[in-house]
Amino acid sequence: MDLVLELRKAALTHLKADPAVTAVIPAAQLYRKAPASPTKPFAKPGTAISGPLTGHRKRRDIRLPIYIRADARKIGTTIVEEAEDHMSRCAAAIMDSLYRARLPVPGGTAKFVLINDIRRMVDGEADAMEANIEFRARVMAG
């Protein structure tokens, strides 16, 4: 069983079911794989890094980044929320949702034990920001 894939799926299912997250990023914009021209704001899992299986191949520590992109919120042509503020609200909702969350995975559980770091970056596009939040999860199979 690929515990990394199962963790990615469980994290997305959890985020899509959390009303605090979907209040800032619609569930349809929480992507497993973003389309060529995604609607912002959006979030998706990034490239996971997993450690060796331990405990007789039943436990794996996985670092799972969640990538977020948001732009300035506008009403008409008037900016009502700067991109950095908008992205920060999205990031906060995701961090609050996954921090210490226990998620079911086939044949076991995943527990997000901490947030390693968050990188906030100015996007090359005007009025856009992005962030990469790296979570550490402990996945137990069986």
What the block records as the tokens of 69 is: 């992109």
42-81 pLDDT per residue, tens: 999 998 988 777 766 678 889 999 999 999 988 998 999 9
Residue 140 has a pLDDT of 83
| Helix (H) / strand (E) containing 111 | strand 108-122
- Find, among 34, 115, 104, the residue nearest to 67 by Cα: 34
**DSSP β-ladder status, 59-71 and 128-141:** antiparallel
Residue 107 has pLDDT above 80, yes or no: no
Question: Which DSSP symbol is given to 60?
Answer: E
Mean predicted lDDT score pLDDT of the chain: 89
Residues 71 and 122 sit within 8 Å (Cβ to Cβ) = no
Segments making up each domain of the chain, as ranges: 3-54+63-122
- This prediction has a pTM of 0.90
- Name residues whose C-beta falls within 8 Å of residue 8's C-beta, 6 or more positions apart in sequence: 32, 45, 48, 64
* pLDDT for the residue numbered 113: 78
Whole-number Å distance between alpha carbons of 48 and 66: 9
**Alpha-helical regions (H) of 82-141:** 83-98
